[in-house]
Chains A and B, each alone.
Chain A
């Protein structure tokens, strides 16, 4: 009797607790991030009659008398002062465009899963950050999530963006004849450099690493002479084909590494399938030699350590990465070990430099959005309005940063917001972008600027395929099969960890043929021909 009563009482109180909790959860009350869902001028718009605050307000000839509240999804974490800064931005948006924007975040750990869920569950939002490959651009386009942006649409609702973004960028964003994102505009270079221990270079009288021969020579020297130290963290496949004047074809399997084109030779429209290329076989044999000599650990395929870890520990003599990261970690290494004398070299110095893919950052409009035009206008402000753009990058002037001259900035307070740390890369605009004023310059900074200058003077002439993005819609099965089949062979091959190169390449070829790579190549040729014809 007692027990039953006890259970009943327990059950009842639990039910009560549960209903309390659910009550707390569903109401949007003021929590730590209460402001997250209620933008400052939310009530104002809805309480006015019908929401027409300013009759006759227009932007570029378009009527914007109706007040709307937009929603944007960005990737990352909400910084401490984020709401403060976007509050300021909303003031400008209210005045200029009669609207406001609220931002939700998909954190780094969850966007892989949740990005697609936003679309699957038909969530109501307007703008979303996107990027080629890692930012789900091609995926989402093929699943129909983004709204196609016609030239007319862009010109009407975001005329300033149209003026400033180069044609090449729109070309890169184009999939199957339509543009689905507004790409960022940055003149960053898409080629990696090598951060290397200057003291070791001196020790073995290696003056510079400016060519493939220099690179392999350095690696072998370290492997042979330095005990307990590795030369690098893997095989330099990218450097090899870049040296041969080639680059990856966007949108093709294995991140484009399998199918290359001659980017340095605009007249050459041929595609090179790596497995049919004797350059690939030559490369694999060379790296096998290097791996056997001990240039890198035999465990690299399973090693989850970050790229810079081995370098910073002193276990690895060099690190191949983009210029920005090389400078950053190089400076860190030099601070901890001044005798290391880390410097940056360009192992592909013989080739002119390609500007980075513009679709590596961008913003797209949700196909289900109810306010596509206004969203485009807001994007226009974020992209081309100097004040707004600076705010999204650095924070509030005077509190988080201060201007140095016309086009430089200096960071004041890192804790509340952070520089370029708030998923603002989608609207980076090289035309109005401020550069950082570096106070404590080191030799490494000078080397960085030196290389940067050389590169800027050596920009590659455009190749028509630079803007080409392969559309997998007709060969999805083959692409999936290729991605599945390739794992067992490819990574070991390009890192020199196979037993016999020729056998492995033959096996890989056979496997990919079975998976349907020839169909993919045929489809590629067809699409490329169409693409070229359309550009004439």
Chain B
């Protein structure tokens, strides 16, 4: 249909009128609660003060970005942020899909429901408490891990002064905390698989492993890809709560654990410079945006229906 010009556009408006009606609440909501505040991004280029507010404060070009690059840590924390996110995405993906698949294979309803519910518990424990627990486990004095190591005849490890162990530690904690919540989506996707396919496979003589790898996993690909894309959309954003509560202000570990968000926090905690924090937010957003657009296009080449937009 090639209706050119305004007339064509109006025709389309009429054609899609019901759709647009159904979309209107969400559109209004998004305009009010997301796009309108988004204009505040200009703060990244201004020297914000209370009297001027967002719009009246004077412009200062790219000044607000300078502190980040002068700190000498810009490369390190950006690298850390991206690498950790990639690591978390990969580990969580594999773990959560495995859990979802295996859960559905469990015949006993009670066992399944019980384990599934229990796996959800870590979601409710705030990172503040997890931080305290982590300290209890990893402390070099009376920590659980060290007591275990010693009882097995090994020497104590000082976790809080050994930066290279932390990618593993952080990944484990992150996986533990999100396994319940994350696997739910894959579970729901598995539930949506047409069971007639399993029957057909059984008749064809496939064993359970083949069934899982040939049917279940491919059938939840759409969901997986969407979730993957959504995660990649945040690849330059660090989970502040987690890093701050687990690592604390332990400079010895910053080389391998500092992310953009924690560095910004420390740099600006005294001055509370809104312009600079807006600048850092913009830095992260732009990088995320570029990444997501590229990845989305790549996914689109593979299958148009899998793309986010």
Binding site for B on A (CB under 8 A): 116, 119-120, 122, 133, 136, 138-140, 142-145, 253, 297-299, 301-304, 367, 472, 476-485, 487-492, 497, 511, 514-516
Contacts and interface: CB of A to CB of B under 8 A. Distances in A.
A139 B271 contact: yes
Interface stretch (B28-36, B62-70, B114-122, B214-222): B62-70
Given A142-B271, A485-B72, A302 B247 contact: yes
A491 B50 contact: no
Interface in B216-262: 247-255, 258
B53 A120 contact: yes
Contacts of B135: 299, 302-304
Nearest to B246: A302
Given A511-B72, A514-B70, 18 more contacts: A120-B53, A122-B53, A299-B139, A299-B140, A301-B251, A304-B132, A476-B271, A477-B67, A480-B67, A480-B268, A480-B271, A480-B276, A484-B68, A490-B251, A491-B249, A491-B250, A497-B252, A516-B70
Interface string B104-139: 000000000000000000000000000110010001
Contacts of A491: 249-251
Contacts of B63: 477
A479 B271 contact: yes
A299 B249 contact: no
Given A143-B272, A303-B135, A490-B251, A298 B72 contact: no
Contacts of B267: 480-481, 483-484
B202 to A, nearest CB: 34
Given A116-B272, A304-B135, A490-B251, A481 B53 contact: no
Instruction: Name which of A139, A301, A484 has the most chain B CB atoms within 10 A of its CB.
Output: A484
Interface in B242-295: 247-255, 258, 263-264, 266-274, 276
B248 A481 contact: no
Nearest to A480: B67
A479 B132 CA distance: 31
B161 interface: yes
A484 B263 contact: yes
Contact of B73 (A116, A479, A484): A484
Contacts of A302: 135, 160, 247-250, 253
B252 to A, nearest CB: 5
Contacts of B141: 297, 299
A265 B105 CA distance: 79
B53 A485 contact: no
Interface of B: 48-53, 63-64, 66-68, 70-73, 131-132, 135, 139-141, 158-161, 247-255, 258, 263-264, 266-274, 276
Contact of B158 (A299, A304, A479, A488): A299
A484 B139 contact: no
A298 B270 CA distance: 27
A488 B273 contact: no
A143 B48 contact: yes
Contacts of A487: 249, 251, 254, 258, 263, 266
B158 A298 contact: yes
A303 B67 CA distance: 29
Q: Majority SS of interface residues in chain B?
A: helix
A304 B254 contact: no
Contacts of A484: 67-68, 71, 73, 263-264, 266-267
Contacts of A514: 70, 72
A517 to B, nearest CB: 10
Contacts of B276: 476, 480
Instruction: Name which of B135, B140, B160 has the most chain A CB atoms within 10 A of its CB.
Output: B160
Contacts of B255: 488
A298 B161 CA distance: 7
Which 3 A-B pairs have CB atoms at the shortest separation, nearest pair first?
Answer: A480-B67, A484-B71, A484-B267
A291 to B, nearest CB: 10
Nearest to B161: A298
A469 B85 CA distance: 42
Given A487-B266, A511-B72, A301 B272 contact: no
A303 B52 CA distance: 41
Contacts of B252: 301, 488, 492, 497
A494 to B, nearest CB: 10
Contacts of B254: 487-488
A489 B253 CA distance: 10
A172 B276 CA distance: 27
Contacts of A120: 50, 53, 274
Contacts of A489: 251
A484 B74 CA distance: 10
Contacts of A133: 270
Nearest to B269: A483
B194 to A, nearest CB: 23
A297 B135 CA distance: 13
Contacts of B131: 304
B70 A483 contact: no
A116 B160 CA distance: 34
A120 B272 CA distance: 12
A304 B247 CA distance: 10
A298 B72 CA distance: 26
